[in-house]
């Protein structure tokens, strides 16, 4: 096996595919254990109410569990070290009060889910309904019935970030542009909903919890704390996970309750979330309000930005990071990869009677990118230039790297202006401009728009400590083991939610050990068989876990070389490990032969070398504030001015994520992210009515992007390896989802300029639905 085509840089086909192509994947709901009982939850139908009483029909006694029946369960409580952060307790089953529609009140068990739902329907809860908090700008300083009444207001946290002198920028500006932006609330909506299966293993005296989660190790930490159980007696397994995208990187009440039930009962219990529950109870995302002013000179150079950011964070803080990071991330990312000298951001994280907010691909960045990239285009219009000229004028240039933005993010390297040029080329911008001049035969108007962003990835200790986090995901781990026949097992603390880590991590070990990746197994997602790791989120898996695999593999390689040199009777400096053998000046010995000595024939070991081929390593990049991928996205749209319908005609991404370990999988991540970003831009929304009822409870109300509406997505690559990581790789899992709302909104703005309303027509709220487009057209026409 020539390792140059299977190691780092190879578009190796995935080892995960075989099982899924035959329907043999193993998701939580696929695991069958004898005697399992299904669980359905009684959930709150009210946004905000006091629970006066819960009555359980006599025939359901012993089958329905309320908080009072599970006294060992303590509330979820997030710790934050940020100044002024408020952290409410969250009982996994409601006690005196419910604070969002869907909050769990009781768990019902039965032989099938249908029968469990029958039980749940028979439980009667008497509520005293309270006025809900649903409007963050109005209610953040106080309301008639605050979400957490002991607070007085509805603010989890408020902070300000300031650099330079924004007042001076205002005085010096030739052009001032002020806009309100809104990114609506949505769901992460992986195709597999959440699920938990829990049972007692009496032989090992432990409880085993299978969960569809991105973070099995930290879920175990939380379960031990909340259930007051020693960690050694809990095993958490994430089997195949059918997409996570962020929302599954949090602890949920159901994981706690199912574990508690398994401890109480002498049979396995299973809860498989249905889509309605998913849309009601799994972390919601986005939901940002912006009021932003940009100051620029008459060339379009930005002198300063002044921003107010409000995040609607819902009723509780999801463990471990709570609601505190979203708005802060927005504030720091909003100045983008631009050389803006003066900046002020005031940000507010507001408690409301809605589903708790959590991370979703891109977290705060899609909103921040939407705000700054829309402003770039409006500044360009105000000074009479092409938006991409203004973009390039303000972007950090390669020779200025490393560059710390006014938002405090240290961009490590890259050629950002080149990504703008390449993206415009991929879409053949001159051809679009001449097509615009000709006009469309069907009466529609077309437009082109762009957006550029930097994506902080693989950030570790310094970054999370600065955010006030009490749990700091600063490393990943790998135990690498060569077995007696020379085959290899990697046991990694990371977890894969479908992105292909089993394949790419085997490539890293193949690179270091010179072994065919087909002879390498990757185990992940099981607290029993792997060293501790934080899981997959924050575009960290490849850099952090790949780095740990590289280090552990090199430790093994060194040992293989020492034993090999001894067997070859030469100096260790004379041998190399490649193509499945250790070779020296006079011959070679296979890794399998060396492994036999290490395990079974220790009389062949050199003096001072212990048996076994087993190494554990952790890894954090040399810089823990993150390494930055970046991209420019471009969209071409057609807008129907009679209906407001937006069709995507073309889409392109010009990106740089440093060294690509597997280019095939990198492009898969980009395209998948872009389509999720298109969902944010055009379709996905969970509106709430004035009583706090969510209005999207099925996939008929909550629209996900389908194959019909999506264009083929063009990709161009730039390659700037970072000096701070193994192989120069950067994280890139989330970037695809960051820029589509901004690029598409800019394209819609460009298209609608053909309608000729004075001042133009803008849609500054996502999703850009036909209703919103028509609203903007009518408003601009004064109708």
Residue 775: exposed, middle, or buried by beta-carbon count in 10 A (0-12, 13-18, 19+)? middle
The 72-111 site mask, x for binding another protein (CB under 8 A), equals: ----------------------------------------
* Angstrom distance (rounded) from CA 767 to CA 34: 46
Among positions 4, 20, 167, 485, the unique one binding another protein when judged by CB under 8 A: 20
193 in contact with another protein (CB under 8 A): yes
Nearest approach, Cβ of 188 to another protein (angstroms)? Answer: 9
Nearest approach, Cβ of 366 to another protein (angstroms)? Answer: 16
Task: Evaluate whether 134 touches 690 at the Cβ level (below 8 Å).
Answer: yes
Nearest approach, Cβ of 545 to another protein (angstroms)? Answer: 17
Between vectors from CA 350 to CA 346 and to CA 355, what angle results, nearest 5°? 140
Among positions 91, 92, 190, 362, the unique one binding another protein when judged by CB under 8 A: 190
Among positions 3, 158, 192, 762, the unique one binding another protein when judged by CB under 8 A: 192
Between vectors from CA 517 to CA 505 and to CA 525, what angle results, nearest 5°? 40
Q: Which stretch binds another protein (CB under 8 A): 185-193, 428-436, 465-473, 609-617?
A: 185-193
Among positions 83, 191, 573, 585, the unique one binding another protein when judged by CB under 8 A: 191
500 in contact with another protein (CB under 8 A): yes
Pull the structure tokens for residue 182: 């809104």
Among positions 246, 322, 447, 673, the unique one binding another protein when judged by CB under 8 A: 673
Contacts of 18 (CB under 8 A, 6+ apart): none
Q: What are the beta bridge partners of residue 779?
A: none
Classify the phi-psi angles of 458: left when phi > 0, otherwise alpha if psi is within -120 to 50, otherwise beta: left
Nearest approach, Cβ of 109 to another protein (angstroms)? Answer: 16
Among positions 664, 755, 757, 780, the unique one binding another protein when judged by CB under 8 A: 664
**3-state secondary structure (DSSP) of residue 139:** helix
607 in contact with another protein (CB under 8 A): no
**Of the candidates 151, 468, 140, the residue with the CA atom closest to the CA atom of residue 328:** 468
Nearest approach, Cβ of 112 to another protein (angstroms)? Answer: 8
**Of the candidates 374, 323, 388, 310, the residue with the CA atom closest to the CA atom of residue 766:** 374
Nearest approach, Cβ of 675 to another protein (angstroms)? Answer: 4
Rg of the chain (C-alpha set): 27
442 in contact with another protein (CB under 8 A): no
Pull the structure tokens for residue 396: 């950090």
783 in contact with another protein (CB under 8 A): no
The 322-361 site mask, x for binding another protein (CB under 8 A), equals: ----------------------------------------
Query: What is the distance of C-alpha 103 from the center of its chain?
Result: 23
DSSP 5: G
Among positions 4, 162, 228, 274, the unique one binding another protein when judged by CB under 8 A: 274
243 in contact with another protein (CB under 8 A): yes
Residue 69: exposed, middle, or buried by beta-carbon count in 10 A (0-12, 13-18, 19+)? middle
Among positions 4, 5, 17, 779, the unique one binding another protein when judged by CB under 8 A: 17
β-bridge pairing 49-55 and 97-98: antiparallel
Q: Which stretch binds another protein (CB under 8 A): 242-250, 412-420, 477-485, 592-600?
A: 242-250
698 in contact with another protein (CB under 8 A): yes
**Residue whose entry in the numeric block shows the structure tokens 């001072």:** 608
Among positions 414, 474, 498, 658, the unique one binding another protein when judged by CB under 8 A: 498
Among positions 129, 699, 757, 780, the unique one binding another protein when judged by CB under 8 A: 699
| Cα first-last separation, the chain | 70
* Angstrom distance (rounded) from CA 290 to CA 328: 13
Give me the residues that bind another protein (CB under 8 A), please. 13-14, 16-27, 29-30, 32, 112, 114, 189-193, 240-243, 245, 274-275, 497-500, 664-665, 667-668, 671-676, 698-700, 704, 706-708, 710, 712-713, 736
């Amino acid at each position: 096996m020539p390792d140059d085509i299977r190691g780092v840089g190879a578009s190796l086909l995935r080892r995960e595919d075989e099982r899924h192509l035959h329907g043999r994947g193993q998701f939580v709901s696929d695991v069958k254990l004898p005697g399992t009982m299904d669980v359905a939850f009684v959930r709150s139908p009210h946004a905000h109410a006091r629970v006066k009483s819960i009555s359980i029909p006599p025939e359901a006694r012993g089958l329905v569990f309320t908080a009072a029946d599970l006294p060992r369960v303590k509330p979820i409580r997030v710790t934050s070290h940020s100044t002024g952060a408020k952290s409410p307790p969250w009982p996994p089953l409601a006690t005196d009060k419910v604070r969002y529609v869907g909050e769990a009140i009781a768990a019902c068990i039965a032989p099938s889910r249908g029968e469990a739902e029958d039980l749940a329907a028979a439980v009667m809860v008497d509520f005293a309904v309270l006025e809900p908090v649903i409007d963050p700008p109005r209610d953040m300083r106080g309301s008639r019935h605050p979400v957490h009444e002991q607070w007085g207001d509805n603010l989890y946290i408020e902070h300000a970030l300031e650099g330079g002198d924004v007042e001076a920028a205002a005085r010096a500006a030739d052009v001032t542009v002020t806009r309100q932006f809104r990114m609506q609330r949505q769901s992460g909506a992986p195709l597999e909903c959440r699920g938990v299966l829990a049972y007692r293993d009496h032989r090992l005296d432990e409880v085993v919890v299978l969960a569809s989660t991105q973070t099995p190790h930290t879920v175990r930490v939380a379960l031990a704390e909340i259930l007051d159980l020693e960690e050694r007696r809990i095993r958490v397994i994430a089997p195949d996970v059918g997409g996570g995208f962020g929302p599954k990187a949090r602890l949920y009440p159901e994981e706690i309750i199912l574990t508690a039930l398994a401890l109480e009962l002498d049979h396995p219990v299973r809860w498989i979330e249905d889509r309605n529950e998913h849309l009601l109870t799994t972390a919601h995302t986005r939901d940002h309000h912006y009021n932003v002013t940009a100051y620029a000179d008459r060339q379009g150079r930005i002198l300063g930005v002044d921003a107010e950011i409000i995040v609607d964070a819902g009723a509780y803080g999801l463990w471990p990071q709570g609601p505190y990071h979203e708005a802060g991330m927005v504030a720091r990312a909003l100045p983008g990869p631009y050389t803006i000298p003066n900046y002020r951001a005031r940000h507010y994280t507001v408690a409301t009677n809605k589903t708790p907010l959590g991370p979703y691909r891109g977290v705060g960045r899609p909103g921040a990118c939407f705000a700054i990239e829309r402003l770039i285009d409006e500044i360009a219009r105000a000074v009479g230039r092409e938006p991409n000229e203004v973009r390039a004028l303000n972007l950090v240039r390669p020779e200025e790297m490393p560059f710390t933005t006014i938002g405090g993010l240290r961009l490590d390297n890259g050629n950002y202006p080149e990504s703008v040029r390449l993206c415009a080329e991929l879409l053949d911008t001159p051809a679009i401009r001449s097509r615009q001049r000709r006009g469309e035969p069907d009466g529609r108007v077309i437009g082109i728009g762009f957006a550029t962003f930097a994506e902080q990835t693989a950030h570790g200790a310094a970054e999370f400590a600065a955010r006030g986090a009490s749990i700091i995901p600063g490393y990943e781990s790998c135990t690498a083991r060569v077995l007696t026949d020379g085959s290899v097992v990697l046991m990694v603390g990371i977890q894969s939610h479908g992105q292909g880590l089993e394949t790419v991590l085997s490539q890293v070990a193949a690179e270091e050990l010179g072994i065919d990746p087909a002879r390498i197994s990757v185990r992940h997602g099981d607290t029993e068989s792997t060293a501790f790791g934080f899981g997959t989120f924050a575009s960290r898996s490849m850099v952090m876990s790949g780095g740990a695999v590289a280090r552990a593999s090199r430790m093994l390689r060194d040992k293989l070389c020492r034993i090999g040199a001894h067997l070859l009777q030469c100096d260790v400096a004379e041998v190399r490990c490649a193509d499945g053998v250790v070779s020296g000046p006079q011959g070679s010995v296979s890794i399998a032969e060396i492994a036999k000595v290490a395990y079974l024939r220790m009389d062949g070991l050199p003096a001072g070398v212990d048996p076994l081929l087993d190494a554990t390593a952790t890894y954090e990049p040399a810089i823990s504030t993150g390494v930055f991928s970046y991209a420019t996205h471009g969209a071409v749209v057609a807008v129907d001015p009679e209906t407001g319908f937006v069709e995507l005609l073309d889409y392109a991404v010009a990106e740089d994520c440093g060294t690509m370990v597997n280019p095939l999988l990198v492009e898969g991540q980009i395209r998948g992210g872009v389509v999720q970003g298109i969902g944010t831009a055009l379709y996905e929304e969970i509106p709430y009515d004035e009583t706090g009822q969510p209005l999207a409870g099925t996939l008929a109300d909550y629209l996900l992007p389908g194959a019909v509406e999506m264009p083929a997505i063009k990709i161009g690559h730039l390659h700037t390896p970072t000096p701070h990581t193994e192989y120069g790789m950067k994280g890139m899992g989330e970037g695809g989802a960051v820029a589509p709302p901004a690029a598409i909104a800019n394209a819609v703005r460009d298209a609608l300029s053909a309608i000729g309303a004075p001042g133009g027509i803008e849609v500054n709220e996502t999703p850009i639905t036909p209703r919103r487009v028509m609203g903007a057209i009518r408003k601009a026409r004064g109708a």
